Structure 1
């Protein structure tokens, strides 16, 4: 009997711990969410097609990238936009940005461009760079995914040299049969 009395606290502690564990398990939400409740699932074909994004846009609206403080190689702003003069020294929102992939051995990698079109930030691969007949330098950028988007960055003027250079020109975005051109000004780090 004395042994039973001495083992009673251990037995009570074990039962109490098991009860708390079982109660905690009962309060855990189950992982049985139906797929159709996900905000990322598309409706089945033939159902509610009004909410599905069209492959070819009905219009083309360029947006602004609030990129700071993410490191970038080239930053271009809308040259025609007015700078907010409210006294706050925030960086301008950008219309076109490039980033350079850095290799582990010090080699530079691919350069990617970014633009916001119709509310989506699109990643672009750099294509050909060449002079045109007007003496401008045009670089063609293309999206990797669908729907396909092409961006022509046309630089007409450079003021300064090296990392202090400022570039001026235009950016034309093509998406389907839509086209939008904006005057740009910016800088690039070498």
Structure 2
């Protein structure tokens, strides 16, 4: 019997070792630092400053407070003249004093003063006074329109040449409700100027 010699032992097969690859700066396989943004900053980019007080950033600065007394007074005066004329036309056409129209006079005067004049503390008081004058002038315009329909005189003759007669007619027609309309217009103008102030 012959025995054969065992075959010579073969060295174990070597597994290939991974070769280091060159690292590309734009490669997504590059390790990312854990405390940075998920994307690398672009070259030359300036990082944003850290937000003080919280993770959501700083609140925008509040708008500057407007405080223009002259502009507010002019706007309130113009609104009072226009609103008084419209109020008088409503009275002249309907031959009645209408409460919501007096509210509208006060609202327009206060809105104009507050929006254009800002938060000056004089403006609400001036708006109330101007709205009183506006309602009074509107009632006189209404009386002149009614008188022009009932007499041979025209509106302009009654309003400009016979103003004393027009005031006497207003006094004769005035009742407690007339003064309620004054109070309503003044109150609405005062509060409207305060609320509309920017």
TM superposition score normalised by structure 2? 0.21
**Larger RCO: 1 or 2 (CA < 8 Å, sep 6+):** 2
More helix per residue: 2
TM-score, normalisation: structure 1: 0.22
Which protein has the larger Cα radius of gyration, Structure 1 or Structure 2? 2
